[in-house]
Structure 1
C-alpha cells in the first residue's frame, strides 16, 4: 500500500507539472504573438508629416474670385505643393529630380489643402506653414531608418535638410480611424471597415438573439421529447461545429443567387453570420434555462400561473443573464470571422464609407486580410495596427460578458 501511494503521489505531481507546463507554454506563445503584433503595429498609429510654406495662389484656386464651393473643390492644389517644394529646394532643376522631389509628399496632401480652403476661403491669397502627409516610403524611412528603403540618395539628402530645420515630425495618425481604405498606405484607414462591421453585427444581434432565445425556450420548456426534437437537438449541436466557410457557401447560394440580394452588402453579411451564430446562442440559452431551479417553476405553477406565465415571468428573467453572456460570446466570434464573408463578396476594395446596410462594405477582419496581401511594406504596420484594434474589440466584448455574469449572477 505504501509503495502504491508513493507511485500515485508521484503520478499526481507529474501530472500537475505537465499541466502547469502546458499553461506556461500556452501563455508563452500568446505573449510572443502579442509582442510580434504590437511591435509591428504600434507605429501604424503614428504618421510622419513634412512642413511647407504654402502660398494659396488665387490664380490657381479661384481665378474669377467667385468662391464657389465647386470651383474651390476642383482647383489644382497639387500645383501649390509643387511650387512650395521648388522654393524649398531651389537647386532642383532637372525634370527627373523634380519628380523625385514631388514624391516626398503624399497625394493625400492635396486633400488637406482642399479641406482647409473649403472650410475657410479667407486663406486664399495668404501664406501658411502647414504640416502635410508624406509618402509611405518617407514615412517608413523616418520611423524605421534606412533599412529596405526605396528612397534615392538625393531624396535622403533632401530629408536630411528638412530634419535639420525641424521640418519633419511624427504625429498621431487620426486618419487611420477617420479614413476609408486606399491604395496608398499612408492614406488607408479602418473607418469603412469599422462601420461595415457595426452594421453586420447589428443585423446579427437583431436576428440571432430573438430567434435563438425563442428556439431555446421552445426546445427546453414546451417541446415534447420524441424523435423529432432529438433530431433537431443533434443537428443544432452539429451546426455549432460546422466550418464557417460552409455558411458562406449557403449565403452565396440562398441570399445572393436565389433572393438576388446585393453582393458585399452588410445585410447579406449579417444574415450569414446569423446562421453561424444561432447554434451557439441556442446552446447557451438552453444551458441558462436548465440552470434555473425546478422549484421556481413548480412554485409558479403551484400558485396558479400558466406554463407560459411561469416561463416568461419567472424562469426567463433569471436565465436572461446567461443568454446575454452566450450572445456576446457568439457575437465576438462573428466579429472575427472572415471566411464566410469572403464567399459573399465582402472582399471587394471599398473606399467609400457605407451609409446603410445595402451599401457595399467590408469588415475589419476582411480589411486585415486585404492589407496583409498587399506588397507595400507600409501595409505591414497597418495590418498589425488593425489587428490590435480588432483584438481590443474582442477583449472588450469578452470582458463585458464576464462582468455581466459576475455582476448579476444569482446563486441558490
Structure 2
C-alpha cells in the first residue's frame, strides 16, 4: 500500500514538473512574440515619426515684379538676354516689400536664402513661355530653402539643428504669421526625380526605375524558373547530374546577393558591354538572384499535386505533356505565383547587387525606357540617408515607408492568391 502511494506521489510530482516546464515554454514563446512586436512597433514609430514630414512641403507665395530694369532684360524672346538676366533680383525685391529695413548687403544675402535655389528658374521659364509678362507683377509660389523648411517643420524638435540666423528666424516667423509661408501636401515628392536640394527632390524616378527593373526581372525569372522546375520534377531522369543541379540550385538560394552583382558586373557589363545604371541590366541581375527561389517554390508546388491526378489523366490516355500542361500546372500555379511574388518582393528590396552595376548614380530625370539611366527605391533611400543635408533624413524615411508599402502589398497579394486559388485535397 505504501509502495502504491509513493508511486502515485512520484507520478504526481513528475506531472507537476512537466506542467511547469510547459508553462515556462509558453511564457518564453509569448515573451519572444512580445519582444518582436515591440521591436516592430519601435521601428515603425521611428520611421513614421521621421518620415511623415517628408510628405509635407513648405512654400512661399510672392508677388514678383518682372521689371526689365531690375532683371537687366529688355527682350524676353532673346535667348542670349535670358541666359544673362538676373532673375534673383525680383525675388529679393518681393521679399523686401515685407521687410523694407533689409537693405545692407548682408541682410539682402540672408533674405535671398529664404527661397529655394530653383526659384529663379521658375521665373525664367515663365518669361520664356510668356514673354508678354515682362513689365508686369505676377504671383509665384516657390519652394523655400531646405533650412527654412526644416525650421518651419522641426523648430521644436531638438534632434534637428536650426541653421538660420536669428534675423532669418524672425523673418520666417513673420511670413508664417502673415500666411506667406505655408505647408501643404508634398506633390513634388511624387512628381520629380532626385535633386541636390531636398525640397526639390522626388521619388518618382526611383519608383519608375523599380517598376521597369521588376518588369525585366519577372519577364525572365518566372518563365525560366517555372520551366526549370517542371523539367526537374516531371521530365528529368534521376541520376547524378540532376542531383548535382538540384544541390546547386539550393546552394544558389543561400548565396549573398552581392555575388550576383559581381556576376552582372563581370558578364553583362564587362563581357557584353551593356550600359551601366539601366533597368535591363538591373533586371537581369535580379532575375539571376530570384531564379533559385522561384525554382524551389515551383518544385514544391508541383510536388504538392496528388499522384492520383497524374494517374487518372494517364489512365484516360493523356500523354506526359498533356498531363503536365492540362492538369499538374493549373493545380500547381497558385503555389508558383505565391513563390514568385515573394521572390519579387525580395528583389524589390535589394540594394547590394545594384550598387555594383552603377544604379547608385545621381539620376535627376525620370527614366522613359528600359535603357534609360535609372535608380531604384532602395538605392535612392541609401543615397538620401548618406547625404549631409537634414532635409534628406525625412525624405529617406518617407521613401522607406513607400518601399514598405510596396513590399507589404506584394506579400498581401501572395497571401490572397494562395487563399483564392489553392485547392485542398
Normalised by the length of structure 2, the TM-score is 0.92
Deviation at 1:75, TM superposition (A): 6.2
Distance 1:394-1:118 versus aligned 2 partners, 3 A rule: farther
1:18 maps to 28
Residues 1:90 and 2:100 aligned together: yes
Structure 1 counterpart of 2:307: 294
Equivalent of 1:36 in 42, 46, 66:
46
Counterparts of 1:217 and 1:315, CA distance in 2: 9
Question: Judging changes above 3 Å, is the alpha-carbon distance between structure 1 residues 128 and 220 closer, same or farther for their aligned structure 2 residues?
Answer: same
Shift of 1:195: 1.2
Q: How does 1:208-357 map to 2 (within 5 A)?
A: 208-357=221-370
Q: Secondary structure at the match of 2:24?
A: helix
Pairwise CA distance, 1:317: 0.8
Give the equivalent residue in structure 2 for 1:107: 117
Q: 1:129 aligned to 120, 129, 139, which one?
A: 139
- Deviation digits for residues 192-245 of structure 1 (CA, Å, limit 9, x no counterpart): 111111111110000000000000000011111111111111111111011111
Match of 1:163 among 166, 170, 176: 176
* Secondary structure class of the residue paired with 2:254: coil
The separation in 1 between residues aligned to 2:345 and 2:122, in whole angstroms, is 36
The alpha carbon displacement at 1:314 in A equals 0.9
Contact 1:179 1:190 (C-alpha < 8 Å) held by counterparts: yes
Superposed displacement of residue 282, structure 1: 0.3
| Pairwise CA distance, 1:109 | 2.2
Deviation string, structure 1 residues 301-334 (Cα, Å, up to 9, x no partner): 1111100000001110111111111111000000
Which residue in the other structure is 2:7 paired with? none
Q: Which moved more, 1:361-370 or 1:142-151?
A: 142-151
Q: How many angstroms does 1:119 deviate by?
A: 6.4
Deviation (angstroms), 1:83: 2.6
Report the Cα offset of residue 277 of structure 1.
0.1
SS at match of 1:88: coil
Hey, what's the Cα distance between the residues in 1 that align with 2:129 and 2:150?
Answer: 31
Counterparts of 1:7 and 1:115 in 2: how far apart (Å)?
81
Aligned match of 1:381:
394
Partner residue of 1:178 out of 185, 191, 204: 191
Supply the distance in 2 between the matched residues of 1:65 and 1:371 (Cα, whole angstroms). 38
- 2:420 is the alignment partner of 1:410: no
Instruction: Provide the secondary structure at the position in 1 that maps to 2:371.
Output: coil
Residue among 52, 75, 80 paired with 1:64? 75
Q: 1:52 aligns with which of 51, 62, 72?
A: 62
State the 1:267 CA deviation.
Answer: 1.1
Deviations 1:115-137 (A, max 9, x none): 55566666554423333210010
- Distance (whole Å) between structure 1 residues aligned to residue 119 and residue 415 of structure 2: 45
| Residue segments in structure 2 that go unaligned for 5+ positions in a row | 1-10
2:81 corresponds to 1:81: no
TM-score (norm 1): 0.94
Cα deviation code 1:136-183 (max 9, x no counterpart)? 100010011164211011111211221232212111111111111111
- SS state at 2:29 partner: helix
Q: Decide which structure has the larger Cα Rg and report it.
A: 2
Provide the alpha-carbon RMSD of the alignment.
Answer: 2.1
Q: Which runs of 5+ in 1 are unaligned?
A: none
Residue number in structure 2 paired with 1:140: 150
Q: Structure 1: how far apart are the matches of 2:129 and 2:223? A: 46
Equivalent-residue separation in structure 1 for 2:323 and 2:135 (angstroms):
76
Moved more, 138-147 or 395-404: 138-147
**Displacement of 1:266:** 1.2
Task: Tell whether the 8 Å contact from 2:342 to 2:410 is kept in structure 1 after alignment.
Answer: yes
Rounded to whole Å, the distance in 1 between the matches of 2:343 and 2:72 is: 53
> Does structure 1 conserve the Cα–Cα contact (< 8 Å) formed by 2:360 and 2:379?
yes
Q: d(CA) in 2 for partners of 1:155 and 1:397?
A: 46
Decide whether the 8 Å contact of 1:48 with 1:170 is kept in 2. Answer: yes
